[in-house]
Amino acid sequence: MAELETRWRDLGEFIREQRRVGHLSLRKLSEMAGISNPYLSQIERGLRKPSAEVLQQLASALRVSTPAMYLRAGLLDSEGQQGVLAAIAVDPELTLAQKQSLSQIYETFRNENARNAPPPTVSDETDEEAGDSNRYGIGWLLENQRALLDAEFALNEGADIGLDQGKPIRVDVQTSEKLYMDFRLEVHDAGGHSSQPRPINAIYQLAAALNRIGEFRFPMALNETTRTWFERASQFEEPRIAADMRAIAQPGAEPEASERLSAIPRLNAQMRTTCVATMIEGGHAPNALPQLAKANVNCRILPGHPVAEVEAALKRLAGPGISVERATNANESQPSPLNAEIFGAIERIAGEFWPGAPVIPAMSSGATDGAALRNAGIATYGHSGIAGEVSENRLHGRDERILVKSFYDGVEYLYRLVKALAGGK
């Protein structure tokens, strides 16, 4: 520790000397380097440890070489070999925010290793967005590197911290998820010239079928996780919605409560299997009757709801002359148990970051790799540690984003949670 303190003091003296040689005031150098005046003052006095990015900015402002600055800070060895932090700082492909994030994560792990604590094991793969179609994702790992994934449980994405105008209202933990299924609908016709339209038209047939599917609603079916979620999450809703949420969580709920909640998309998704048209394509020329019209219908199926039953409903709604086929394979999974050790650690640490927000088991209406892990016998809990407004849903949109504060809080929170669950203090 004394050696480190001496290094930062020597670095501060070096920066101060270079500033004086360049006839720069403390304020002028701080402006040139893009840092605050008090922060620079603390660096010069050896009270603050500057990041690699700040050192690079100071080197540029003082017109000294970046390697020389890094050497003073101990980021290069005596032979000039570049360290990880220095490499991050000079990488032109990274933004400043990315450099800061990577440096923070790297230094956190280094500090932990310096205390002789075992580092956590992390599995990075291509995630579920491609459906593991290239077999380089979780499927490949389970088939080819199963030993690396053997664990009592896994932490994954799938649930977040809910905010209401910035105030934390709940900490969700995904214990189950809906099954993702795509169905392909197709209508074929002989076609012809558009100057001689006929009563039968492939596009009209498909549109009528999609309208019937859009108007259909699968029955409400709550499970242990969603029933608990409606009960606990109701306290943060407006009175009318809260009363309806508590009502449907009880046996024999009045249908009026279900009807009102079904009109709210985020709540309806927790209540039943849903199917919705997401893509459509038809025709081959602007002056020809369509010979083919096809659409993709995406279903999010409740755990325990037979896929064959959903498929049969779509075929019935589509009607004669329209083929309905599965476009993806079913990867059904059973919910993970409510593990007291995991939920206890989450409640303790989350309480420090988002005080007052209850920890609630949740079912994800989206798909994650947790299904594959659960089917492999690994209890999986979706918990991203990222806080966001419950009124927003930008997932997969072109405006998808997270709050800057939520990102940095999430990094620190997940580090502490993984450390606690791995047996650290």
Distance CA 161, CA 80 (A): 44
Which candidate, 171, 7, 176, places its Cα nearest to that of 75?
7
Tally of CB atoms within 10 A around 348: 13
Q: What is the pLDDT of residue 392?
A: 78
Class of the 128-176+334-421 domain? alpha beta
Q: What is the pLDDT of residue 320?
A: 94
Q: What's the Cα-to-Cα distance from 123 to each of 282, 369, 378, rounded to whole Å?
A: 42, 12, 14
Q: What's the Cα-to-Cα distance from 318 to each of 107, 190, 213, 275, 298, rounded to whole Å?
A: 57, 20, 7, 13, 14
Copy the structure tokens of residue 102: 């990577």
Q: What is the pLDDT of residue 370?
A: 84
3-state secondary structure 284-347: CCCCEECCEEEEEEEEEECCCCCHHHHHHHHHHHHCCCCEEEECCCCCCCCCCCCCHHHHHHHH
Length of the chain: 425
Q: What is the pLDDT of residue 424?
A: 58
Q: Specify the residue for token string 């988002």.
A: 354
User: Do the domains spanning 2-93 and 128-176+334-421 agree at the CATH topology level?
Assistant: no
Q: What is the pLDDT of residue 134?
A: 55
Distance CA 133, CA 148 (A): 21
Distance CA 425, CA 416 (A): 9
Pick among 2.170.130.10, 3.40.50.300, 1.10.260.40, 3.40.50.1820: CATH of 2-93: 1.10.260.40
Distance CA 231, CA 170 (A): 12
Do 172 and 358 meet the contact criterion of CB atoms below 8 Å apart?
A: no
Q: What is the pLDDT of residue 401?
A: 82
Parallel, antiparallel or unpaired: strands 323-326 and 288-289:
unpaired
Q: What is the pLDDT of residue 301?
A: 95
Q: What is the pLDDT of residue 314?
A: 98
Position 402, amino acid: I
pLDDT in tens, the chain (425 residues): 445 567 778 888 888 888 888 888 988 898 888 888 888 888 888 888 787 778 888 888 888 767 667 777 776 654 444 567 667 766 677 776 676 677 767 767 766 665 555 555 677 666 666 555 555 678 888 888 888 788 888 888 888 998 888 899 889 999 988 999 999 999 999 999 999 999 999 999 999 999 999 999 999 999 888 888 899 889 888 999 999 999 999 887 788 999 999 999 989 999 999 999 999 999 999 999 999 999 999 999 998 899 999 999 999 999 999 999 999 888 888 888 888 889 999 999 999 999 989 998 989 887 788 888 888 888 899 999 999 888 777 766 777 888 889 998 998 999 899 888 887 55
pTM to 2 decimal places? 0.63
Residue spans of the domains in the chain: they are: 2-93, 128-176+334-421, 179-326
Identify the burial level of 186 via C-beta atoms within 10 angstroms of its C-beta, where 0-12 means exposed, 13-18 middle and 19 or more buried. middle
Class of the 179-326 domain? alpha beta
Q: Specify the residue for token string 């002989």.
A: 190
Q: What's the Cα-to-Cα distance from 157 to each of 21, 119, 197, 366, rounded to whole Å?
A: 52, 21, 51, 10
Do 142 and 149 meet the contact criterion of CB atoms below 8 Å apart?
A: yes
Region at 148 (left for phi over 0; alpha for psi -120 to 50; beta for the rest) = alpha
